[in-house]
A and B are shown apart, each in its own frame.
Chain A
């Protein structure tokens, strides 16, 4: 047997899981449920949002959360695939970590261009 490089995605998974456990419920409520209830209409208006996300500190925090969320989900879905009986682990890993990379890059580009 030999030492495995799985430490790297595992740290991203664990860090992501920790951050998400604190922030995810309130985030989903704010951006996904509150608008339908007619709450936070000012905060979610185009002007306020662009000014808010225009702040570099907000950009940084959002980038951190989204990156960790992507990699957390990718790694856990890889385990899920295994648990559902899909044994093509390398292919699954390439696809899921690839998607996480795309997500990270898109988030970075979008944040920079606001």
Chain B
């Protein structure tokens, strides 16, 4: 194992004493195979215990370590130091979110949006336990599987210009999750989600920049999900004016 010194430029913000964020540089002795999160952990344990950041799993499943690494939103536990040959890495909190402290951002707005799209199955028919489980074929599962992989890391929000410019936009991950349930054969909740999803602040606010899908560490493709949703909700809207259509 060889060691390399990495210059970690971290955006710091301590609300009780700073008026605005500033960069602090740490020279961190790193192992070859480390990720950025390891370097942050080293700083926290050996150099500066006041540094704040979120993490939990260290294996790309919890979604709490999303941050800007050299300007790109990434999971700190998935950003390998060997991919940064210059030895200088700039680490900032996720763009488009208010900074709570250091690398920790305020998530309240996203959590509210997540709840607003009703991210749970609204069943076609209530079944009693005696009636057994809801059956689903592998093909029916395939239709939405990709959209279940989201870990709420918010990398997509950090790169979505439409969310950055106007935070009323429901945004990529929440809309992709709405699509995930709309595509589920057991679900009948599209109409119930229509108010939020098919509002001007919902899918119609997305201009298909596609940036969200480029940075998603789980290949969820929220941009694709939103365009598919535009088609489905658009047809709903048009047919609602036909005789017998649901208004």
A touches B in complex, CB < 8 A: yes
Residues of A with Cβ closer than 8 Å to B? 1-8, 10-11, 14, 79, 82-83
8 Å CB interface, B187-228 against A: 194-196, 198-202, 204, 207
Bound Cα distance A8, B235 (Å): 9
Interfacial chain B residues near A7, Cβ < 8 Å? 198, 204, 230, 233-234, 237-238
Given the interface pairs A10-B230, A10-B234, the reply to whether A4 lies near B204 with Cβ below 8 Å is yes
* Interchain nearest-CB distance for A3 vs B (Å): 5
* Interchain nearest-CB distance for A81 vs B (Å): 11
Bound Cα distance A3, B201 (Å): 9
Interfacial chain A residues near B233, Cβ < 8 Å? 7
Interfacial chain B residues near A3, Cβ < 8 Å? 194-195, 198-199, 237
A1 touches B199 (CB 8 A): yes
Residues of B with Cβ closer than 8 Å to A? 161, 194-196, 198-202, 204, 207, 230-231, 233-234, 237-238
Given the interface pairs A6-B200, A10-B204, the reply to whether A1 lies near B195 with Cβ below 8 Å is yes
A4 touches B200 (CB 8 A): yes
* Interchain nearest-CB distance for B163 vs A (Å): 13
For residue A5, which residue of chain B has the nearest CB?
A: B237
* Interchain nearest-CB distance for B72 vs A (Å): 21
B195 touches A11 (CB 8 A): no
Interfacial chain B residues near A2, Cβ < 8 Å? 195, 199
Most buried by A among B194, B204, B231, B238: B204
* Interchain nearest-CB distance for B189 vs A (Å): 15
For residue B201, which residue of chain A has the nearest CB?
A: A1
Bound Cα distance A78, B202 (Å): 17
For residue A89, which residue of chain B has the nearest CB?
A: B200
Can you show 16 pairs from A to B with CB atoms below 8 A apart?
A1-B196, A2-B195, A3-B198, A3-B237, A4-B199, A4-B200, A7-B198, A7-B204, A7-B230, A7-B234, A7-B237, A8-B237, A11-B238, A14-B231, A82-B207, A83-B207
A79 touches B234 (CB 8 A): no
Bound Cα distance A1, B161 (Å): 21
Most buried by B among A2, A4, A83: A4
Bound Cα distance A79, B234 (Å): 18
Q: Contacts A2-B199, A4-B204, A7-B230 known; list 5 others, CB within 8 Å.
A: A4-B202, A6-B200, A7-B234, A10-B234, A79-B207
For residue B204, which residue of chain A has the nearest CB?
A: A6
Interfacial chain A residues near B231, Cβ < 8 Å? 14
* Interchain nearest-CB distance for A34 vs B (Å): 33
* Interchain nearest-CB distance for B179 vs A (Å): 16
* Interchain nearest-CB distance for B192 vs A (Å): 12
Bound Cα distance A48, B238 (Å): 41
